[in-house]
Structure 1
Amino acid sequence: MSRRCELTGKAVLVGNLVSHSNHKTKTRFLPNLVKVTLSSETLGRSVRLRVATAALRSVEHRGGLDAFLLKASDTQLSIGARALKREITKKQATA
Structure 2
Amino acid sequence: MSAHCQVTGRAPGFGNRVAHSQRRTRRRWNPNIQLKTYYLPSEGRRVRLRVSAKGIKVIDRDGIEAVVARLRRDGVKI
TM-score range for the pair, normalised by the shorter chain length: 0.7 to 0.9
How far is the alpha carbon of 1:53 from its aligned partner? 1.2
TM-score by length of 2: 0.78
* Residue identity (%): 34
Structure 1 unaligned spans of 5+: 85-95
Please give the root-mean-square deviation of Cα atoms over the aligned residues, in Å: 2.1
C-alpha distance in structure 1 between counterparts of 2:70 and 2:28, whole Å: 30
Aligned residues: 77
C-alpha distance in structure 2 between counterparts of 1:47 and 1:70, whole Å: 13
Question: What residue in structure 2 maps to residue 25 of structure 1?
Answer: 25
Q: Secondary structure at the match of 1:83?
A: coil
Structure 2 unaligned spans of 5+: none
By percentage of residues, which structure has more strand?
2
TM-score by length of 1: 0.66
By percentage of residues, which structure has more helix?
1
